[in-house]
Amino acid sequence: MVHRAVTTFGRLDMAFNNAGVQAPPADAADETAEDFDRVNAVNLRGVWASMKHELRQMRQQGSGAIVNCSSLGGLVGLPERAAYHASKHGVIGLTKSVAVEYPVTFLIIPSRGSRSPGPVWLFPPVVRMIRGVLSPGRVASTDR
């Protein structure tokens, strides 16, 4: 995808990563390893794999913005959804870890449902646009 975007448009300025599947509802002790692995392969590894290639291109060109969508499931836990919530918490942790590696500002945008964005982190020049409001590396929330 990244190669095609760069070939077509000359660069990659923005990416939005959103992946989500669920396993059938099950008590955590009864959930199968196959269901757990499938959910994490799509929800967490899918975001990681996309972001990995996006980061390489954005690092090379010196700018870009990536939005990783988690869900409310990345902030809470619910019964019979252990694999799903683990994967969505993982997306938030992955995003925070990568934000430490790159000169970015990390924002928390609260989820208002499964289709609302979760954590967002931004590359320069977007960071420069909001630098007057936030310092790089600071965690903020739109609830403030």
CA of 72: how far to CAs of 68, 106, 112, in Å? 13, 18, 7
Active-site residue set = 84
Question: Phi/psi of residue 108, each to 5°?
Answer: -105, 120
Stretches where the chain sits below pLDDT 50 are 104-119, 123, 125-144
Q: What is the pTM of this model?
A: 0.74
Q: Quote the pLDDT of residue 103.
A: 57
Domain assignments of the chain as residue spans, ordered by start: 2-141
> Distance between the two ends of the chain, CA-based, in angstroms?
36
Look up the CATH number of domain 2-141: 3.40.50.720
Burial class, 132, CB count within 10 angstroms (exposed 0-12 / middle 13-18 / buried 19+): exposed
pLDDT in tens, 67-108: 788 888 888 889 999 999 999 999 988 888 887 777 544 444
| Unique residue bearing structure tokens 């809470």 | 76
